[in-house]
Structure 1
């Protein structure tokens, strides 16, 4: 009986020992499994940290650009690019900052990198058009703007202006005819179309070079009606408002899509305190502006007109618009 009890105790100890061993093994396996499961969030945390660092530099770049620190913005974008390379948003921001620094070659290079990933991104296409306009490369600007128009018909007015700047008046008239059939034309573009059609059979020949010494600017303009001479004449006569207004009126009739003529007429009328007439000239001319710097000048002059008219709300609004473009 004693032997049986001892054997029973032995069996109990053996079972307990086996259970302990099994429990230890299960505990080890469970612990290993738990560690393996934890390893996934750890990796994820590392990725999130990388993403957070990227975003920190990227949004710092946006902040620096907003206050005009374009070089600082570029430095932060370089840090972003080191963390996550070939990011479309980073390339686009590189391009915008380089354009603001007037480094058009680099601006073009970076936006074209971005467009490889998103060839139909309308914002980047519009930005590339701006770069070509800055370089006075109107043929390239037209080619890109045609792609923009395929996506958004609202880009047609700019395409008209680009055609005119590239001396392609026939294409401008054809496009305006199409626009008129579909959605109609603004009053400014109706006047432009009418002016272009009237002189269609009697084109103005603009000389590429002008010999100022060959006679007075007024005589030269009377002789060849060149826009180049007109611009020189208007600039040279800025202290003679009567002459500026006389030739600005003629210039608008001859070159209805040249915003500079409307701008200098508006400035002269503001100087004479004829604020309503100045504002009308500026409003008519701004439709033909394609360059940011000139657009800012128009808004600044319009603010002066509103100030003269006692409309300080509009004055502030247009001053802010001018300032925003220059930032």
Structure 2
């Protein structure tokens, strides 16, 4: 094994340190008749020293060792390669580039050297030189071709980038990463028609692939071509009657088309699907709630749909349903959903407020008292919770405690005359229950003084 091959083998097999007895295949019993043997030994010692120092991150010492190797023999590419990486770590970028370029010059067909030089240019945002380097790498692996397309995007050479993406799609099929890049180009250039044409061709060339239809439906909709989007969705349903994702689009089209029965059918498919994410289901349920608000005759379908929701832990969905039933003045049902939401989000202030107010409205005063006491431990400066607590205590015929709670809560009211009036009314009632008519009248008068201003 000659010296150059030996060092290249060392590099590729990742050997960073070996015993000195293995430095070279030299017969120690034979004395060399010139300096060649000594030079080989010195070179190998320095090379391994450089690798050892590099392995323990002493990059300056490693670079010194590699420089001494070059003084002995300037023709070993791996030394420049290792030295270039050391200079990168030392942030001596000019020297790093020179060393890596020399490694590539000496061994122009070495993929690893080219890849390191390419990575160097990318790290320096030198995209033009990076393009030159990666063009040489394309012959080794198609992934480099995708890198080349990405660099063309970075340098706004969009036509060249699309040309490469088309070639890769034709050879290997589409991929998510390339589609992301393609969409970035279409967005940057405003080529919506080209984007749609590409998706139309995909549907035509691969009519069994659901994702092509879904992408085309989305782009048609985005481009306000709703009729084409609707027709594409119906076409997908013909080809794949079991598609669940298509109903994310279909329900909306059916609603716009005043086809309530089909819209509801699509909504039910969405909410019970295992393929569709909770966030998308929430959007559908929100639209379903609005729809039933306009057409209450379909309320039973909404109830069935909510029972089908596979992700019962989606608090947003539960809150939305609570708001729906609250708007319908179905307070018992609204409370049921808000209590469920509170279990999922115990620190949601809005839900907590709704639960306690519903307790008062539904005359569940024991629950209102308990929940407001618990809430005041978390929110000791929240006047609404003192008010709810006072109301509950009055209704439970505990006026003395009501007075304590209400008077404490008064101190936290800031520029809220309506709430202040409510406090005075409750204090008047508490003192009436305590047979203190003087104070009861005082607070009643205070309420009257404010009320005309509202």
TM-score, structure 2 normalization: 0.33
- Bigger relative CO (Cα 8 Å, ≥ 6 apart): 1
* Higher fraction of helix: 1
